[in-house]
């Protein structure tokens, strides 16, 4: 598929582009437009004016996602599936071969999608970005908390860019806007580490199940229009690769500043649950290497390792909208 041609049409912002501007061989241009049409891209053709881009394909387009991706590790291989049990399972089953380091699995639909704490993760077919990334991590980046932070920061950056809103990370793995969850991250470890990401994209509010209708949101709701999921998947792969590459080059701390800035809890009164018991206090500091600094209600300042935190909740939850 000619994705450069597709990009030229997109860049025209809805204007018609003359066929002669798309290539010297008009028959070939027609054939390439037919291929884009057949895949499902919405193109309007006019006998005099040429062709105009009207919208993305409903299904994920692997060529569009991979086009000039230019990542270091993540996305060296990308597989797009129609229907799978869980993308995390598929990614995990590819572990053990160095050529699969950075493999990205995407699916249009999952029939046994998993969330944290044994919960289900379900989304209507072709509505979301359901993605898993397989990584052969160096020992410095091998912790579940770091990999979860990596997924959350990358998602939050993409949500901010596409929606113009200010997402926040709710410990440890939710990305929320105005107190409503738009994405979740599930890290699972086996032979390799798998970062699973579920990002709600083209889901209208009424399509969420009753129990989520007040707590969940999607990019379509935030933007007021459906989005191009292939562009989102592509942006997410690039963002993940960017932060992972920084981690490889400069260590786990390179993610800390952004992670802290995106935190929903920093500066608030929180309850921290640890294997040794619970603690309530103000969350003064948050760092992936130095851990949390909490000033307890009795005035004591305590440092807590990120990996020792079983749960962290705001004592006064952010106002839900």
Binding site for ligand BTN (CB under 6 A): 86-88, 110, 113-116, 119, 121, 130-132, 173-174, 184-186, 196-198
C-beta of 36 vs 129, nearer to ligand BTN: 129
User: CB of residue 123 vs ligand BTN: minimum separation in angstroms?
Assistant: 8
User: CB of residue 188 vs ligand BTN: minimum separation in angstroms?
Assistant: 8
C-beta of 184 vs 291, nearer to ligand BTN: 184
Of residues 192, 189, 188, the one with CA closest to residue 97: 192
User: CB of residue 88 vs ligand BTN: minimum separation in angstroms?
Assistant: 4
User: CB of residue 35 vs ligand BTN: minimum separation in angstroms?
Assistant: 29
C-beta of 39 vs 81, nearer to ligand BTN: 81
User: CB of residue 315 vs ligand BTN: minimum separation in angstroms?
Assistant: 22
Of residues 5, 65, 69, the one with CA closest to residue 31: 5
C-beta of 84 vs 286, nearer to ligand BTN: 84
* Residue with nearest beta carbon to ligand BTN: 184
C-beta of 222 vs 236, nearer to ligand BTN: 236
CA dist., res. 39 & res. 316, Å (int): 49
User: CB of residue 139 vs ligand BTN: minimum separation in angstroms?
Assistant: 24
C-beta of 141 vs 152, nearer to ligand BTN: 152
The answer to whether 233 touches 81, Cβ cutoff 8 Å, is: no
The answer to whether 36 touches 44, Cβ cutoff 8 Å, is: no
User: CB of residue 215 vs ligand BTN: minimum separation in angstroms?
Assistant: 11
C-beta of 54 vs 119, nearer to ligand BTN: 119
User: CB of residue 229 vs ligand BTN: minimum separation in angstroms?
Assistant: 13
HEC sequence for the chain: CCHHHHHHHHHCCCCCECHHHCCCCHHHHHHHHHHHHHHCCEEEEECCCEEEEEECCCCCCHHHHHCCCCCCCCCCCEEEEEEECCHHHHHHHCCCCHHHCCCEEEEEEECCCECHHHCECCCCCCCEEEEEEEECCCHHHCCHHHHHHHHHHHHHHHHHHHHCCCCEEECCCEEEECCEEEEEEEEEECCCEEEEEEEECCCCHHHCCHHHCCCECCHHHHHCCCCCHHHHHHHHHHHHHHHHHHHHHHCHHHHHHHHHHHECCCCCEEEEEECCEEEEEEEEEEECCCEEEEEECCCCEEEECHHHCCEEEECCCCCCC
C-beta of 71 vs 110, nearer to ligand BTN: 110
């Amino acid at each position: 598929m000619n994705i450069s041609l597709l990009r030229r049409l997109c860049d025209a912002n809805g204007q018609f582009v003359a066929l002669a501007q798309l290539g010297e061989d008009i028959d070939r241009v027609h054939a390439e437009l037919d291929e884009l049409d057949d895949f499902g891209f919405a193109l309007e053709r006019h006998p005099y004016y040429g062709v105009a881009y009207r919208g993305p394909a409903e299904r994920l387009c692997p060529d569009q996602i991979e086009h000039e991706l230019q990542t270091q590790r993540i996305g060296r291989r990308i597989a797009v599936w129609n229907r799978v049990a869980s993308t995390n399972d598929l990614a995990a089953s590819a572990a053990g071969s160095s050529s699969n380091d950075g493999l990205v699995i995407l699916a249009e639909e999952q029939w046994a999608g998993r969330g944290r704490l044994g919960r289900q993760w379900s989304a209507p077919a072709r509505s979301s970005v359901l993605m898993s990334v397989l990584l052969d991590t160096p020992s410095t980046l091998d912790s579940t908390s770091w990999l979860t932070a990596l997924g959350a920061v990358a998602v939050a950056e993409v949500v901010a860019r596409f929606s113009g809103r200010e997402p926040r990370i709710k410990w440890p793995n939710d990305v929320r806007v105005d107190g409503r969850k738009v994405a979740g991250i599930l890290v699972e470890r086996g032979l390799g580490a798998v970062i699973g990401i579920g990002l709600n994209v083209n889901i209208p509010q009424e399509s969420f199940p009753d129990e989520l209708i007040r707590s969940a949101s999607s990019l379509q709701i935030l933007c007021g229009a459906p989005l191009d999921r292939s562009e989102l998947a592509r942006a997410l792969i690039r963002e993940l690769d960017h932060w992972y590459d920084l981690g490889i080059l400069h260590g786990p701390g390179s993610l800390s500043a952004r992670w802290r800035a995106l935190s929903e809890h920093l500066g608030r009164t929180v309850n921290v649950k640890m294997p040794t018991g619970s603690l309530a206090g103000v969350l003064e500091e948050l760092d992936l290497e130095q851990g949390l600094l909490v000033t307890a209600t009795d005035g004591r300042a305590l440092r807590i390792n990120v990996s020792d935190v079983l749960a962290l909740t705001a004592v006064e939850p952010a106002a839900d909208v």
